[in-house]
Structure 1
Amino acid sequence: MRALVRSLALVATLASLPALAANGPDPKLKALVDGSQRSAEFKARDAARKPLEALSWAGVKQGQTVVELWPSGGYWTEILAPYEVGTGKYIAAVGSKNPTSDRGKEALAKFTSKLQNLNDKAEVVEFNKDVEQIVAPGTADVVFNGRNLHNWMGGGYAEKAMQLAFSALKPGGILILEDHRADTKKPQDPKAENGYVREDYAIALATKAGFKFSKKSELYKNPRDTKDYEKGVWTLPPTFVLKDVDKAKYEAIGESDCFLLVFVKPKK
């Protein structure tokens, strides 16, 4: 009888494995998160940014057209660009394709060189307050934004940014929105000068543009973040704007408390 029970238990366990695998992360995505194409600097931030969990939860898949807004140094690009090789399309929407400063030119050259190595079919387009579209309307499956909403608020075009994202997406497409989460007990600074954005403020912006709120994750919840630093969120890692002043204190806090939201462009 005991042997029979053990056999039945083993059969049940084996039978459940395909279902568990099917519900787990895409093996290709996991391989890219762990892959050698990623810089050691960015991998060091994975404990805070949790790329495999975030992208899997949000619903990013192979075969999609993914537009990343303001990829900066390419933390997410190192994963998203090669993920869509062969089956989908990756588009980087940079602030300007013709920066005027030497620093801007150097940063863009470094990014485009990296992107070419990651995905030689990837495209680079512009996204700023003056553009009227990011990509052809209704052509993207995913618009991804990692911690940039506060910048667009500072520039006075956050509403336009949401409208452009809405236009870029196909009906049923998703907007993934991540940013530093502000204290809900304080009114939202419309310029977000400290880098923090109230979650309800972000939801209202996206909803006003036509999006339907889909879901939220507490993957980036950090109760140690007091959100009251004189130099704003950049006091915390990885920026450490105060350099070595109380660095151990801010290292112990870690990266900021962030929201992670998904919105859907309605099909009708």
Structure 2
Amino acid sequence: MKTIKLAIALSALLLSPLAVAGDTAQQQAEALQLAVDHQSRSPANVARDKYRNPVATLQFFDVTPASTVVEISPGGGWYSEILAPLLAAHGTYYAAHFPADSTSDYYKRNRAAFVEKLAANPVYNRVQLTEFAPGNSAAIAPAGSADVVLTFRNLHNWYSNGGDDGMVTIFKDFYTALKPGGVLGVVEHRLPADKASGDWQKTGYFPQALAVRLAEQAGFVLEAQSEINANPKDSADHPGGVWTLPPVLRLKEQNKDKYLAIGESDRMTLKFRKPLTQ
């Protein structure tokens, strides 16, 4: 009965002119919460809400039920489970996953699992699957079409493959997809400034100042930053890098209680804007 009520409530809210127009922050927060509470979400993903704070995060990035949103590298679909129902009635959701013609077994395996996920539930019927990988020339969405481009915990992977130049090229691709005035939302494991030396690239953490500098080189303006996804318990100096912490728990049973008590990583949450005038 609860799931039926949630589905009905979400549908009603999405059809409401107030929810679509975004007249108040409260109405937008209600729409986001209903999407987070959607019956299609897996219990394992729901359990991580306390670390990923999806309502506050998406609201900070100006995501509404009428937005055109591109999610970069959606992985297993943690945010897809929220964005697909949220945007189903009045918005558009582009999931820019690994390229279909990739020769990487990892890419192929993860894309296949995501495609299977989309096919398994009608809530994903309107998801538009596009492609993204560093160095791939495919468009993540039509140029100038997106209100919001989102990336969650990906910068460290891209930087390890392409350095400064590769990252700026990636940010420029996001810039191209966005409308003038559109938002680039970045969430990433945060490397403390005093640790930005040595082998930090192997840790999975990323310097916030570097993220800002590279995005600005691509033309973005940093509009705001938030501590929504901060975790002061995370010292960012774990023996197995960020993967020492949940949900990965790379060290398995070794000091498991210690790392569970810390929780998931400390994360920067950055909101960039594409200028209205070029």
TM norm structure 1: 0.87
Contact 1:140 1:168 in 2 (8 A): yes
- The alignment partner of 2:202 has SS state of coil
CA distance in 2, matches of 1:38, 1:49: 14
1:78 pairs with 2:81: yes
Contact 1:81 1:122 in 2 (8 A): yes
- The alignment partner of 1:59 has SS state of coil
1:142 to 145, 148, 157: 148
- The alignment partner of 2:191 has SS state of coil
RMSD of Structure 2 on Structure 1 (CA):
1.9
Please name the residue that 1:16 is paired with.
none
CA distance in 1, matches of 2:104, 2:133: 16
* Alignment CA distance shift 1:162-1:188 (3 Å): farther
CA distance in 2, matches of 1:253, 1:239: 13
Please name the residue that 2:18 is paired with.
none
CA distance in 2, matches of 1:265, 1:189: 33
- The alignment partner of 1:98 has SS state of coil
- The alignment partner of 2:206 has SS state of coil
1:184 pairs with 2:187: no
- The letter of the residue matching 1:126 is E
* Alignment CA distance shift 1:190-1:204 (3 Å): farther
> Once the two structures are aligned, what percentage of the paired residues are identical?
40
TM norm structure 2: 0.84
Q: Which has the higher mean CA deviation after the structures are superposed, 112-121 or 136-145?
A: 112-121
Please name the residue that 1:53 is paired with.
56
Q: How far apart are 1:104 and its partner, in Å? A: 4.3
1:257 pairs with 2:259: no
- The letter of the residue matching 1:167 is T
1:22 pairs with 2:24: yes
Please name the residue that 2:180 is paired with.
171
Please name the residue that 1:217 is paired with.
226
Gaps of 5+ in 1: 1-20
Gaps of 5+ in 2: 1-22
Q: How far apart are 1:231 and its partner, in Å? A: 1.4
* Alignment CA distance shift 1:190-1:263 (3 Å): farther
Structure index of larger Rg:
1
Deviations 1:143-199 (A, max 9, x none): 000110111001112221111111110101100000000011133579822111111
* Alignment CA distance shift 1:225-1:87 (3 Å): same
Q: How far apart are 1:234 and its partner, in Å? A: 0.5
Aligned structure 1 segments of 4 or more residues deviating by more than 3 angstroms: 98-106, 188-191
Aligned length in residues: 248
Please name the residue that 2:204 is paired with.
195
Contact 1:236 1:256 in 2 (8 A): yes
Q: How far apart are 1:121 and its partner, in Å? A: 2.0
Deviations 1:41-83 (A, max 9, x none): 1000011111111111221011111100000011111001221
- The alignment partner of 1:166 has SS state of helix
